[in-house]
Amino acid sequence: MTIRYDDIHLYAKPGQAASATIRQWLDANGIAYTNLDYADPTESLAALSTWFWDGEEQVTFEDTPVLVFNQVLWEADDGSDSYRKQHFAVAVADLPDDFVTLATQVS
pTM above 0.75, yes or no: yes
Rounded Cα distance, 50 and 35, in Å: 20
What are the sequence ranges of the domains in the chain?
Answer: 4-102
Query: Model confidence over 55-84: pLDDT tens digits?
Result: 889 999 999 999 999 999 999 999 899 999
CATH number for the domain formed by residue range(s) 4-102:
3.40.30
The whole-chain average pLDDT of the chain stands at 96
- Give the closest residue to 86 by CA, choosing from 23, 22, 6: 6
Q: 10 Å Cβ neighbour count for 33?
A: 20
Q: 10 Å Cβ neighbour count for 69?
A: 25
